[in-house]
Chain A
């Protein structure tokens, strides 16, 4: 779960060739080493092809040594989550069935992290 750190101290997930301050990244941070707080969440019952249904998703915020970094991901426990909960990233080999949807399977990675309440 690689995030980029930029010269002004800001961190983004995903990383970008140029950061919010207009400068190129200087370092990476593995967010899977940290816990995060749930900012908001939803349970989607109208999932597109190749996606689990229902699909509970959350926007979470990591605190990386005082620098906030946000990410989105599925929740491992369904809708048993609340704003303000602490979660940790849990690795999942295949988040969504590659090729079931419109996107070319080889154009991106399909593994990643879901969030599990601590």
Chain B
């Protein structure tokens, strides 16, 4: 099996955009082809990561539409939906297409258009992933976060302020990301005094509703060398699931999908958590950064909150997390987010992250979470 390389990447401005999902896909897809120096007729497979274009704007069949708009026919195409981890799932499918020998050039584009919907409408589209016994009670993803945050703080005797410090950190990082929805620092008092959304979590504990797109170009390393000397390798990608019904988990503060997907990815890449120089985690809610950083093995169980208190996850810390600003600051266009996480790690490993650069990063990790840990993809990447 050949090594899988990424030879090009792009992302659009995240935030409130005028264009619709096909416009966003086209913008990122075109930019990625340009960045990689690849002609559309060289693309064998074209994957589109997207959760709900039909529900959000009544546009389905977007994988074929974008194949046409990018003149990539007769490339094989498919739309990848794994809810909030659609982007990560797209990375896994793109990786598999190359590693299996089925494709010598795979373009992955993720996108979501959400901001034309009201917050209650968008919340309901996302909450439609829940089981009927959850949905009929009005359970939402933010309410899962509130339930879990209260249990985490109670179980591990963590201060409420530690969650607020995740928001402060990621907003601080996002200032240097030109694509981020919010490029503005917030202080801890602002976070802790913002309106309650799902007690004990407040407005600044949550990511925004976002439009945006991101793209990556995958190929075998032997083909990569024909295009460029500078590329990034993807030695491991793991995917795993946890219960659909969230309350059936014995320990709601452990995300089994994160544990299992990272175990697979670490084994494939023959590395461990101590080898990771930089990570992009799925901070859709501040509490998720603690859970993932523990379940990925960066910190002991119940001690993720201490890492933020000690500054270990900031730029300059020994385990920098979310230099892009994370979903919290950058925004969370569902199908694009997992692709944009890998875009950030690509930039870091290429040494092209500018003021966000974490130093000489050789190994990076992206963890993309679907639902409330229902589906998880962990991707490990290495500098060439």
Contact = CB atoms under 8 A, between A and B. Distances in A.
Interface of A: 12-14, 39-52, 55, 57-59, 70-74, 79, 83, 95-96, 101-103, 107-110, 112
A17 to B, nearest CB: 13
Nearest to B148: A40
Given A70-B247, A71-B247, A72-B137, A101 B124 contact: yes
Given A48-B123, A72-B246, A43 B196 contact: yes
The 10 closest A-B pairs by CB, nearest first: A42-B146, A51-B138, A48-B124, A108-B132, A40-B151, A72-B247, A43-B199, A44-B143, A59-B247, A70-B247
Contact of A108 (B120, B135, B201, B247): B135
Nearest to A47: B138
Which of B137, B150, B245 gathers most chain A CB within 10 Å? B137
B268 interface: no
A57 to B, nearest CB: 6
Given A43-B198, A101-B124, A110-B136, A14 B245 contact: yes
A94 B128 CA distance: 18
Q: How large is the interface on B (under 10, 10 to 19, 20 to 34, 35 or more residues)?
A: 35 or more
Nearest to A112: B136
A57 B136 contact: no
A41 B133 contact: no
26 contacts: A13-B133, A40-B148, A42-B143, A42-B146, A42-B150, A42-B201, A44-B142, A45-B195, A45-B197, A46-B120, A46-B140, A48-B120, A48-B123, A52-B138, A57-B137, A58-B147, A70-B247, A72-B247, A74-B138, A96-B135, A96-B137, A96-B138, A101-B135, A108-B135, A109-B132, A109-B136
Most buried by B among A44, A46, A55, A71: A44
Interface in B275-332: none
Contact of B147 (A14, A47, A59, A107): A59
Contacts of B34: none
Contacts of A58: 147
B2 interface: no
Contacts of B138: 44, 47-48, 50-52, 55, 57, 74, 95-96
Given A39-B151, A44-B142, A44-B197, 12 more contacts: A40-B150, A42-B143, A43-B146, A44-B146, A48-B124, A59-B252, A73-B137, A74-B137, A83-B150, A96-B136, A112-B133, A112-B136
Contacts of B200: 42
B96 to A, nearest CB: 27
A49 B198 contact: no
A14 B135 CA distance: 13
B55 interface: yes
B53 to A, nearest CB: 14
Interface centre among A14, A42, A57, A71 (most CB of B within 10 A): A42
B131 interface: yes
A59 B133 CA distance: 12
A59 to B, nearest CB: 5
A70 B147 CA distance: 14
A72 B134 contact: yes
A20 to B, nearest CB: 8
Interface in B104-123: 119-121, 123
Contacts of A72: 133-134, 137, 139, 246-247
B38 interface: no
In this complex, the member of B135, B146, B196 whose beta carbon has the largest number of chain A beta carbons within 10 angstroms is: B135
Nearest to B196: A45
Nearest to A79: B199
Contacts of A59: 147, 247, 252
Contacts of B149: 42
A24 to B, nearest CB: 17
Contacts of A109: 132, 136
B125 A102 contact: yes
A44 B140 contact: yes
